[in-house]
Structure 1
Amino acid sequence: MNVGIVGSTGYGGVELYRLLSKHPHVHECILYSSSLEGTPYVDQYPHLAGLSQEMVKPIVIGEMQELDFVFLAVPSGVSKELSPKLVGKKAKVIDLSGDLRLKDPSQYEEWYKGESAPEDILNEAVYGLTEMNRNAVKEAKLIANPGCFPTATLLGLAPLLHHGLIDPGSIIIDAKTGLSGAGRKASLASHFSETQENLRIYKVHEHQHIPEIEQQLKEWNVETGPISFTTHLIPMTRGIMATMYAQLTDDIATGALHDIYSEFYHHQPFIRVRPSGQFPGTKEVFGTNFCDLSVKADPRTNRVTVVAVIDNLIKGAAGQAVQNMNVMLGIDETTGLHHDPIYP
C-alpha cells in the first residue's frame, strides 16, 4: 500500500511519517510539501539521519489521486482546496486540519474566518473519533480527523452524556496544552523567553474547537447547551490535559462512575480508565495513542470532575489518523501503534 503525506514538514507530518514508515501494511510513504519540495527530508529533521532517504516532493494532484491513502497534515484553509480534487478517486483521504469537521458552513466561516469547504465534501466527510464512530469510519472514503482538544474532551465526556448522568447545559472545560500544538512555525507566542516559567490563557471564549466539541455533544444529547471552554499554554513540548466539570443529575458515587467508564470503554484498546482515586499526567501517555481518563464525584456540590490526557501529536492528530486508516482497511486498529509511553 502506498500513502502520501501532504504537509510532511510540520510536526503532525513528521509524526505521521514516524508511524507510517514502520507500518507493516505501508510499502511506500511519499512526502509532499508546497514550500520545501526537492529537498531531502532529513534536512528538515536531522534526527532521521540514516533512517530516511525520502525526498520532499511537490504537490501533484494526479499522482496523489492514485495512492491508497492521502493524509492532509496541513493548516486550516488548505484542505478545503485539496479535498475536492482527491475525493472520488482511488485515494482515501484523512484530513488532519479543521476544514471538514464542522457540518454547518456558517460555523466554519464564523470560527475559522474563511470560506467553508463545499457542502458536498462536508457531507461526505466522516468525523473520525474512532471509539465513538467506528462503524461509519469503516465505510468512509473521507475522514475529518478530530482536533486535539476535542479528542480529549469528547472521550472524557462521552460516558456521562450517553448515560444521561449530567445536566447537558452545565459543562465547563479547562484545557492545557504543550507548545507543539502551535505548530513548527516560529512566533512570539512560542518563543522560549515568552513561554518558559509562564502559564498563559489564550483564545478565551474564541477557540475554534468550541463548535466542534458542541457539534458532537449535541449528537449525543440534543439538549446540550453552549459549553464554557478555556485553553492554556504551558511550558512543555507535548501533551494535553482536559479537566471537565458538570452537574450530576442524581446522586452517584465515584465508584459507580468508575464502573460506568470502565464498562463503556471496555473494548477500546487505546482508552485507559485509571483506578479510582488515581489521576493521570501528560507524561504517562507521551509518544502514544492512549487517552487516559479519571472520574470523581463531589458529593458536597453534586458535580463530577473528569480528567483526560493525550499526546496532542499522536492521539490528538497522527496516531488517531493511523487508527482511522486501520479501521478503514479492516485490520486490527492497533496495527503500527504499539508504543509504550516514553518516561520520564
Structure 2
Amino acid sequence: MSIPTTLPRAPMDPALAGFLAQAAAQGNPPLESLPPEIGRQIYRDLAAGLGLPPPAVTTEDRHIPGPGGPLKLRIYHPDAVGELPALFYVHGGGYVIGDLETHDAVCRTLCHDVGAVVVAVDYRLAPEHPFPAAVDDVICVLQWLATHARAMRVDPSRVAVAGDSAGAQLATVACLRTAGTIMPPRALGLIYPVAQHHSEPSASMAENGEGKFLTLGVMQWFIDSYLGDRDELKRHPDFALLSAPTLANLPPTWVATMGHDPLRDEGHALAQRIEQSGVATEHRHYPSAIHACIHFTAVSPVGAEVVADLAGWLRGRLS
C-alpha cells in the first residue's frame, strides 16, 4: 500500500496535553541551558518515573572492543529456548542525553513481546564525542552481532535493527553502511526518526517546536553538540538521511510518526523516500501523540501502542 501524501490530524491526547501543561507550570530551566550531564539525569528520571513497569526478562551487561575503547552492551533474553531471533535496538536522546537506562523499559518490552534477544549499546555521546563517534559505535555493534550471533543462540538470518529519534537515524545509517558486508538485517524499525535538518523548517517544526516536549531550542542544542560548527556535516549522508545517495539497500522498514512532533514531516518524508527506493515500507502515524511518548506509558497508552505495533511487525518479519 502506498504511503499517503498527507497525514491525518487530531487533537493531542488529553493525558499528554495535561502532562505538558503541568511540566510547563513548574518553570524548569530549558534543557539546552543545562550541562549535558544534568540533561542526561533529567532524561533518566523522566523515563523511570513516567513509564509502566516493563515485563520481567533476564539481562546481562558486557563490554566489547569498540572504535574508541570498550563499548558497554546490555543483552536482554526472553523466556524461550532454541535458536532465537535478535533485535539490535539503538536508543534516542539527540546524540547527547540517552543511554541504556533511559531505554531499559523499552528494550525489556520489545524482548518480551517480540520473543527475541535484544542487544542495546551505550554508544559515545556528544559533545564529548561528536560525529561520527556514535555512527562508528553503532556500526561496530551491528557487525559484532552478525559475527557472534551463533554464540548467543541467535539465528544470524533473523536479526532486526530498530531505534527511536536519533537512534532511529543511527540504526538506518548502520544498515546502509554495512550493506553487502554482513548478512543483511531482516527488518528495520524507526520510531520518530531524525532524517533532515539543513533544509527550510518544515510545517511540523513550525507547529510543534514549542511546548510539546521536544523544542526547537533543544533540537538545535543536540545538533550543535553533535556536529559542532561544521555546516557541511548537516548534508553528510551519515547524518542527513534524505540526502543519502540511495536508500535501496535498506531491509523492509517500519516508520512511526507522531502528529504533535517537530520531526513528524521529516519522518513522513523518509518513509516516502524509502518506499520510492523500492523497499517494502510500512508507515504508522499516531496523530494524537508527541515525541518521546514511548517513555510516558503511565501518562497515556499511546506510547505503549507504538511499541506494541512495532513489536507485532517485528514478530512477523522475524518469524
What is the TM-score of this pair, normalised by structure 2? 0.35
Higher helix share: 2
Higher relative contact order, structure no. (Cα contacts within 8 Å, ≥ 6 residues apart): 2
What is the TM-score of this pair, normalised by structure 1? 0.33
Structure possessing the higher radius of gyration over alpha carbons? 1
